[in-house]
Amino acid sequence: MPQLWGSSLLAHGGNEVLTRRVSSIAELKVEKDREAARKVEDRKALADAKEQGKDAVAAVKARIVQDSAASAEARKVEKLRVAAERQVEKARVAAEKKAKQAEQRVCAQYHPLDVC
């Protein structure tokens, strides 16, 4: 199935679309790894803070919540950017298709012997 997906992308959008899709998948993988490492660090910081008392635990929890909110906002912005990028790509492909169809109509009108 991945071969069909790749050939479909190459047929409809060229190598540029395929490259963007592969890079976005790689970025997602890196982000998941980064998130896992952050969670491990947060657990360690909480464990260290428990030894220091309730105030330290509260401060660490507040920092974790703030970091999580910032991370969620960044993901939201990235999701919107990707959606906008896809819409632009769809519009470009539709415009190219429309231009090609118009060119074929004009060619067929002036060259009825199937030269086009």
Could you tell me the residue ranges of all domains in the chain? 2-110
Q: Write the pLDDT tens digit of every residue in 87-100.
A: 999 999 999 999 99
Q: Which residues contact 21 (CB under 8 A, 6 or more apart)?
A: 9
**Residues 77-83, mean pLDDT to the nearest whole number:** 92
Rounded Cα distance, 89 and 13, in Å: 9
pTM of the model: 0.60
Q: Write the pLDDT tens digit of every residue in 23-57.
A: 888 888 998 999 999 999 999 999 999 999 999 99
Rounded Cα distance, 89 and 17, in Å: 9
